[in-house]
Structure 1
Amino acid sequence: MTSAGAAENDTYVLAMPAPTSLVVLPQWITPGNTHPNSRYQEAMWSMALLIDNPGTRLGKLHWKNCPEPLRDQVKLAAWTMINGQLRPTYLQVRGVQARSRSGAPDMAATCLEWMRLARWLHERQITSLGACTETEWRAYASERLPRVSRDTAAIICVRLTNLWAFDQLSARPSGITRPPWESGGVDDFLPAGGAAGGGENATEPLDPLVLGPLLIWAIRFVDDFADDIMAAWAERRRLVAVVAATKAEPTGWAALEQWLLPMARDGHALPAYMDKREVQVATGLDPEFWTRVMRLVPA
């Protein structure tokens, strides 16, 4: 048990955030990253300020997906992970690949895994992470892990362990129990390995005569189109900013209706976008408007 005075002097324990606190503290934001910062009290957190690679999807955390009784506890652990670092003593026993901080995509995936656990606990009328004991950990692992591959299950175990680790570094720990695979070993919790186990890549390697030209053309593609790619990315960001700053007005809705409704009546293709490798109708508009449009789409 850590005393209150010791916790105050512990540089790894973060101060309690206020409702208006920034989701990403300034020390983790790269100069030049101008994405808007979310506030702790908001129902959606943007991870964009932690992402500098233009090819990486700008993730978001939607807290509506976390049950209300457990939301504040999971939210605090998530904020601590975003702005804190794991202790060196914690990392020393976890191999050379262990890191005090992970990247934004992994943080987002970790938070989604925590929300999944919270929903499972909520379904069993458990309203506090502190009530997640070894019994609950084992029951959840027995349901969650057999549904995925062995490698994915190992990653899930790490993410769930991080909930316990970052909870200890928060200003108001929930007291969630240490997962049982931390003391007894994770192997017993993982599904059996496949026939090609051992981590070896069984794919036939490409012949150098094939790989060489591919590499040359990949380099040429980047060299020849780099300016166009960056210009397109800048233009996309400009258009997104314009849309975000433009307020919808009746004249605009009328013009959109005049353009879109004839397309729906005549069975023409509607505005769409790619999501999870599927083409979906662009439903970012007013739901009532889209209800009117979709009634006109031929079955």
Structure 2
Amino acid sequence: MLASMTRLWAFDQLSSRPSGIGCPPRETEGVDDYLPAATAEGENTTEAIAEQTMGPMLIWAIRMVEDFSDDILTAWAEMERLRAAAAANKSTPASLASLKAFMEPLLAGDLPIPAVTWRGKPALARAYIAAITGASHNQVTATSKRLGWRQAAVRRPGPCPLKTSVTGMLGGKPWREALDYHECASLTRQLGTACFIVIAYLTGMRPEEVAGLRSGCCPDPEPDSKGQTGRHLITGAVYKTARDEKGNHRSEGELRDVPWVAIAPVVNAIRVLERMVPTGDLLFAHDAHDTRSGTGALTISTMGDRIEDFVAWAN
């Protein structure tokens, strides 16, 4: 508020019809007497997150990055491949025969039918079935309607497993028997959130600074003349203290003079994000982390919501 009053006075000096606003006395006397008294806690009085909360959350975030990321990103790539294949499939007698050969044993054996949750209810997973059988979307739709497959999926909804390998371990056992076609998007979202938590907590960056990082911001260090390799450093932008030559705040930020030092979990998180976005793009680019339309990086409000979702998912 004090800065706004100073700006009002400054613009009044430039006006063709000045209102005679006086120069705020703090501009010459200093601002301390016009601000609340300092507290024992310092400027930041926000209560720290309890160790009983932060510890498990950080452990789960690191686990996602280091143990589960390969499985999730491999499954995401396979899901994208299957989705494209299903859209390109043509209706042929051979594809119809393949479709029936897949579905008829499930129906005859009273087994679970591949399903997806649609508007809170189970529905036949038509895209998945089309992808793995080679049938077209139209063939799956028409045949399921004629033979009652949709009703069977509602009564006996089943998973849509991918054939990708599962390498991540949890408690000495694989963390998933198989990843599901329809959970790839949510798992990839949780993985991106985990990367955000790791980077923000283990570097001390402000959320806006993390969101502003780009692919390539943390290159592998080159050995020196003695063959010794230094630490990983992160080059990024700062926003809170970014000012132009006239003292105005620069919302786009400015390059940080001193890079952040990155320990191994942070480097691993950045490497995971670099697999999710194009070279040189924002690590948290909206179009890479959200199916809805948007530009720039994910907002801090969005990341706050995603952290809450991540906590609920991990619990």
Question: Does the TM-score normalized on the shorter chain lie above 0.5?
Answer: no
TM-score, normalization by structure 1? 0.24
The structure with the largest alpha-carbon Rg is: 2
